[in-house]
Amino acid sequence: MKKITILLFLILSVLSFTEDERTQEEYIKGKILYLESVIKDRSDQEDGIKETREYSVKILEGEDRGQSVTVQSPIYVEEAYNIYIRDNQNVVLYKDAVEGEKNIYYIVDIDKRNSILMIVAIFMAFTILVARLKGVKALLSLVIVIGIIYNIFLPAIAVGYSPILVSTLCALLCSTITILLTTGFSKKGMVAIIGAVAGVVFAGLLSMYFSYKMAMTGFVSVEALNYSNLLKGIKVKEIISAGVILGSMGAVMDVSMSISSALTELKERDITITKHEMFSSGMRIGSDIIGTMVNTLILAYIGSGILSTLFIYLQKEQFPLIRILNFESVAADIVRAFAGSIGILVAVPITSYLCSIFIAQSEQND
């Protein structure tokens, strides 16, 4: 029954990434054969285009598959707008279909899917090579977790459910699946699940309190403001806290599992250890883990927003500290980083205490 359940989770997770053929716009794959010509004599450079390049492109998908067509790609004065194209490179084409006429194609981006698959394959290979069977279980749990987020979390908040509530339930489900796949149905696994969920929920509640205290709108980026019409009916203010819950889940789960596993091993080595001694050992182990894990989480948030951090640094002479710290994007990152780190701190004593109660006591009773 257990294997059937795991298999069903895996199938649902994989199916969640099948492409939706019902999209209104059609984007297909093409391959650059060579550069045909460059048109430099332009009379309309007011639009920011300095030249137009014409490429011979082979269509790799769709009704025109196998055909070679000429596709134009504008080169803008502003370098940031340009798509850097090379021969034999796969590109994404937008198909403009006009009834009764020949299809027109436009280059909209470089096709990055092969590179994405390559780095994912390298990650999977290293995981299996280093961790063997547990690596396979870890990859399986990762697929299931991503499937849960894609199939449960995102659809639920899209229809108006509370992001905090949904993310908490997803954190509980993801933690349970990940830890049970790693440890099986064991006391140390159950303790780790409870400790991880407690730390994550505390981090979420703390971030929710400060988000409301700071009167955050939830629109922490220009992109969010541009697509505000798509967010109607969604509780945007709670998305920051939901992000803290999901973002800190992995780190908190790692800490809880490490402490629970270490204390279980300690109990097996010394069956005479008391509850107080086990709790003290858990706190000492946790303090060592905290020393690096807190830095890991904060640096992860800084790394994910490195461009925003760079913008702030470059404008430090223009904006005083009082202005910079009151940018919603900056405040949101600070709340996310420190609330998540506090979740780790909370998970340490909770997991240590639960181990001293359930693991130590159960062994004594046995």
User: pLDDT at position 21, please?
Assistant: 46
Q: Answer yes or no: are the C-beta atoms of 135 and 114 closer than 8 Å.
A: no
Pairing of strands 49-59, 104-110: unpaired
Question: What Cα–Cα distance (Å) separates residue 256 from each residue in 174, 199, 249, 261, 316?
Answer: 14, 9, 10, 8, 39
Q: List the chain domain ranges.
A: 26-111, 134-365
Pairing of strands 68-76, 49-59: antiparallel
Give the Cα separation of 128 and 271 in Å (integer).
34
User: pLDDT at position 366, please?
Assistant: 47
User: pLDDT at position 304, please?
Assistant: 73
| CATH number belonging to the domain at 26-111, selected among 3.20.20, 3.40.50, 2.40.50, 1.10.10 | 2.40.50
Give the Cα separation of 30 and 84 in Å (integer).
15
User: pLDDT at position 349, please?
Assistant: 92
User: pLDDT at position 111, please?
Assistant: 92
Phi, psi for residue 108 in degrees, rounded to 5 = -110, -20
User: pLDDT at position 252, please?
Assistant: 87
Give the Cα separation of 48 and 124 in Å (integer).
44
Closest Cα to residue 124, out of 107, 140, 104?
140
- DSSP type of residue 93: E
User: pLDDT at position 44, please?
Assistant: 53
Rg of the chain taking only CA atoms, in angstroms: 26
User: pLDDT at position 43, please?
Assistant: 54
pTM over 0.85: no
What is the pLDDT tens value at each position of the chain, 366 positions in all?
A: 444 444 444 445 444 444 444 445 788 899 999 988 888 765 555 567 888 888 999 999 888 888 888 888 888 888 878 888 888 899 999 888 777 678 888 888 999 999 999 999 999 999 999 988 888 888 888 899 889 988 999 899 888 888 888 888 888 888 888 888 877 777 888 888 899 889 988 988 898 898 888 888 877 766 666 667 777 778 888 888 888 888 888 888 888 888 988 888 888 887 888 888 888 888 988 888 887 777 777 777 777 777 777 877 777 778 777 887 788 888 888 888 888 889 888 999 999 999 888 876 655 444
